[in-house]
């Protein structure tokens, strides 16, 4: 596929971010690599379907960025902020805002910040009589990811379920708005016998807001926690991988031939290192 833009096609061809070739035959790909040897850019060879999809994904993301920026401009105008200044500040963050961060397929987002701040922004938009359709679609899209995960487990038609990861991301015990909580609740509601492994969420060690959240909102989940991988494996017919954690790597390395795996991270779990 080509990534040249009208008005700058010659420059784009001579200095592309990459040369992308879709080819299912390595020998043919090698010939194409030699053809583009004079182009100073990384040569990327992948399967035809992946390359075709990459082209559409690139343009869809460009369109999404334009729509996002325009909706932010609408909100800024309605709320009295300078849209150019706001986006200038936003673009200064090259670690998270303009980077690879959050651009890997996986499961739904959660936590105490993203859902809360998005709802606050949407409330401000409604108050200002602004209808940001892209922003308004984010939470429903996120909820659809949770439903997709629930359906994937139920489609196995197995009752005993082991879940790896309960907090909203690895390395934290924060369960507030974790997408794994409604997933577990839904599975229990459908009659599944669920056990959960998440070393970060030890009820005995929890304090403050996280302990109160469990005691007030999901007290029954504390009784479902497993302390080790083997107990989880002994219980489960289906293993749900909810986080790309070391525990997930260890669990996947120890599964038996009869275990069914539902990987909500979509392959993001790192393999165990040789040591």
What six digits make up the tokens of 247? 């525990």
Q: Where are the alpha helices (DSSP H) in the chain?
A: 9-14, 26-35, 48-79, 83-91, 114-127, 133-136, 138-154, 180-189, 208-217, 229-235, 246-254
Please, are residues 168 and 244 in contact by the beta-carbon 8 Å criterion?
no
**Alpha-carbon Rg of the chain, whole angstroms?**
23
Among the listed residues 23, 76, 113, 226, the single catalytic one is: 113
Chain mean position to CA 200:
20
SS (H, E, C) 172-188: CCCCCCCCHHHHHHHHH
For this structure, is 23 an active site residue? no
Please, are residues 45 and 59 in contact by the beta-carbon 8 Å criterion?
no
168/170 Cα distance (integer angstroms) = 7
95/256 Cα distance (integer angstroms) = 39
Nearest to 209 by CA among 174, 178, 179: 174
Catalytic residue numbers read: 113
């Amino acid at each position: 596929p080509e990534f040249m833009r009208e008005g700058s096609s010659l420059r784009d061809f001579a200095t592309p971010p990459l040369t992308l070739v879709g080819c299912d035959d390595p020998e043919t790909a090698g010939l194409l690599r030699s053809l583009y040897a004079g182009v100073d850019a990384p040569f990327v060879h992948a399967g035809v379907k992946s390359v075709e999809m990459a082209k559409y994904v690139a343009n869809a993301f460009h369109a999404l960025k334009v729509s996002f920026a325009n909706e932010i401009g609408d909100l800024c105008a309605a709320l009295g902020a300078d849209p150019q200044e706001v986006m200038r500040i936003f673009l200064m963050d090259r670690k998270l805002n303009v980077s690879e961060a959050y651009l890997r397929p996986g499961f739904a987002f959660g936590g105490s910040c993203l859902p809360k701040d998005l709802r606050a922004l949407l409330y401000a938009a409604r108050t200002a009589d602004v209808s940001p359709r892209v922003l308004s679609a984010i939470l429903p899209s996120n909820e659809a990811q949770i439903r997709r995960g629930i359906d994937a487990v139920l489609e196995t038609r197995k009752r005993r379920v082991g879940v790896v990861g309960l907090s909203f991301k690895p390395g934290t015990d924060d369960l507030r708005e974790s997408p794994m909580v409604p997933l577990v609740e839904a599975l229990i509601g459908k009659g599944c016998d669920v056990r959960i492994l998440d070393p970060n969420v030890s009820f005995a060690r929890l304090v403050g807001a996280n302990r109160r959240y469990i005691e007030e909102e999901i007290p029954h989940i504390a009784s479902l926690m497993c302390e080790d991988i083997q107990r989880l494996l002994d219980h489960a017919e289906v293993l749900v991988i909810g986080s790309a954690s070391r525990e997930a790597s260890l669990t996947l390395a120890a599964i038996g031939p009869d275990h069914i795996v539902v990987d909500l991270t979509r392959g993001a779990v790192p393999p165990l290192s040789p040591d």
